[in-house]
Amino acid sequence: MKQGTHYFHVPELDITEQKRKTLVERFKIYQKFNRGGDWYENANGTTSKTFNYYPSGESTLKNIFDDKQIRHMRDICKSVPGDPQTTEPFDFLHCQGEVFKHKDELRSAVITVPLLLDNDHGLQFWNDEGTEMIDYLQYDYKTYIFNSKILHGVNTSVEPRLFWQGSVFDQVASFEDIRKQYESGQLFKD
Ligand SMILES: [Fe+2]
Q: From the CA of 187, how far away is ligand 1's center (Å)?
A: 23
pLDDT for position 1: 41
Q: From the CA of 52, how far away is ligand 1's center (Å)?
A: 12
In order of 25, 34, 115, 142, the CA distances from 29 in angstroms are 6, 9, 15, 23
Q: From the CA of 103, how far away is ligand 1's center (Å)?
A: 6
pTM (2 d.p.): 0.90
Write out the H or E segment, with its range, that includes residue 55: strand 51-55
158 pLDDT exceeds 80? Answer: no
DSSP helix/strand/coil, 88: coil
Q: From the CA of 16, how far away is ligand 1's center (Å)?
A: 25
Angle, CA 180 vertex, CA 176 and CA 90 arms, to 5°:
70
**Helix runs in the chain, H state only:** 17-33, 67-76, 175-183
Q: From the CA of 23, how far away is ligand 1's center (Å)?
A: 21
Q: From the CA of 19, how far away is ligand 1's center (Å)?
A: 25
112 and 20 in contact (C-beta within 8 Å)?
A: no
**Hey, which of 78-87, 90-99, 135-144, 150-159 has the most confident mean pLDDT?**
135-144
Q: From the CA of 189, how far away is ligand 1's center (Å)?
A: 27
91 and 56 in contact (C-beta within 8 Å)?
A: yes
- 10 Å CB burial of residue 76 (0-12, 13-18, 19+) is buried
Across 123-131, average pLDDT: 95
- Which domains does the chain carry? 3-183 (2.60.120.620)
Across 168-187, average pLDDT: 95
pLDDT in tens, 73-106: 999 999 988 887 788 899 998 887 777 788 998 9
pLDDT in tens, 25-72: 999 988 887 766 555 555 566 655 566 778 888 989 999 999 999 999
pLDDT for position 181: 95
pLDDT for position 19: 97
Q: From the CA of 105, how far away is ligand 1's center (Å)?
A: 8
Residue 144 phi, psi (nearest 5)? -130, 160
**C-alpha span between 176 and 155 (Å, rounded):** 26
> Could you count the other beta carbons within 10 Å of the beta carbon of residue 100?
14
119 pLDDT exceeds 90? Answer: no
